[in-house]
């Protein structure tokens, strides 16, 4: 049975550099199930930190949705 604790649905994120929007994430979707061991891999500049900041609630997506089930962290 699946039990998704993090659902990322078509996330987009752009950073404004002056007047120009620089895309960092273009339509990222993923589900993480309870008990999953997940590794996020990609070259420098591919958006790993941006995605983790958004999943962690430190930053906002420009477009898309994140659902997180409440979990005890400590």
Task: Transcribe 3-35 into DSSP letters.
Answer: -EEEEEEEEEEEEEETTEEEEEEEEEEEEEETT
Gap between the Cα atoms of 51 and 57, Å rounded: 10
With CB under 6 A as the contact rule, the residue among 10, 29, 31, 46 that binds ligand ADP is 46
49 sits near Mg ion (criterion: CB under 5 A):
yes
Of the two residues 11 and 24, which places its CB atom closer to ligand ADP in the complex? Answer: 24
18 sits near ligand ADP (criterion: CB under 6 A):
no
50 sits near ligand ADP (criterion: CB under 6 A):
yes
């Amino acid at each position: 049975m699946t039990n998704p604790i993090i659902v990322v649905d078509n996330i987009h994120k752009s950073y404004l550099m002056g007047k120009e929007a620089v895309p960092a994430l273009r339509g990222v979707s993923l589900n993480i199930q309870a008990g999953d061991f997940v590794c996020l891999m990609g070259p420098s500049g591919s958006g790993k930190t941006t995605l983790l900041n958004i999943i962690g609630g430190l930053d906002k997506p420009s477009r898309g949705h994140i659902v997180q089930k409440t979990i005890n962290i400590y």
